Amino acid sequence: MATVSGDGQRFFKAAALAPSAVELAARVRAQPGGVVLRASGFMQNFLRPHPLAERIHRFGEIRTAAGDGRLGWVDARDIAASAAALLTEVSADIRSDYLITGPHAMSYPQAARIITAQTGRGIRVEPMTQEEQAAAYRSAGLSTEFAAALAAVERGIKEGREDQVSTAVLELTGRPPRAFAEFVADHADEWAR
């Protein structure tokens, strides 16, 4: 088991102190004209200093309790473009809530295959239980409660609750969201040894 140090620990400590997504969404919706962008899993989680990326970089593996569950991974650049479109477009059609995803849902094994194909570096997926996932997060410096919450997200992915894709990026920006293969091509040297 590898531990996360430096930037990875700072990332987790900051995340543990942040208000919940539900709390933030409620605050935004309470404001006149407030719009919530609910992003699916960030493709940037595959980049350092995120612990997922650290493990890929160090060991060539993704350890997850999500099994073959899928998530509509989205590039943060598409989230930013969607937000910019909302801020610059004046429209009566604006909804109060948008699910922002990539163009298709993808599992961790699919992500590993794409990284391998694009970079030539073999990336494997090591399954683990939800309890092992929570323990790994705790060993990376997360509080017991936050570690359990993140491990529960993995369970939700495994159970199919996050297998959602939307057309919001296309609707808001006029172009489709980036595919994971494009994201990997843009950051291919991230996974080099």
Fold classification of 7-191 is Rossmann fold (3.40.50)
- Which residue do the tokens 């994201």 mark? 183
Joined together, the tokens standing for residue 184 give: 């990997």
pTM of the full predicted structure?
0.84
Instruction: Give the pLDDT confidence of 100-131 residue by residue, as tens digits.
Output: 999 999 999 999 999 999 999 999 999 999 99
Instruction: Give the pLDDT confidence of 78-95 residue by residue, as tens digits.
Output: 999 999 999 888 665 778
Instruction: Give the pLDDT confidence of 4-45 residue by residue, as tens digits.
Output: 444 555 555 555 566 777 788 888 878 877 889 999 999 999
Nearest alpha-carbon partner for 62 in 4, 13, 116, 125:
125
Joined together, the tokens standing for residue 55 give: 């493990």
Question: Residue 83 corresponds to which amino acid?
Answer: A
> What is the C-alpha to C-alpha distance for residues 21 and 26, in angstroms, rounded to an integer?
9
Joined together, the tokens standing for residue 65 give: 């309790």
Q: Environment class of residue 144 by beta-carbon count within 10 Å: exposed (0-12), middle (13-18) or buried (19+)?
A: exposed
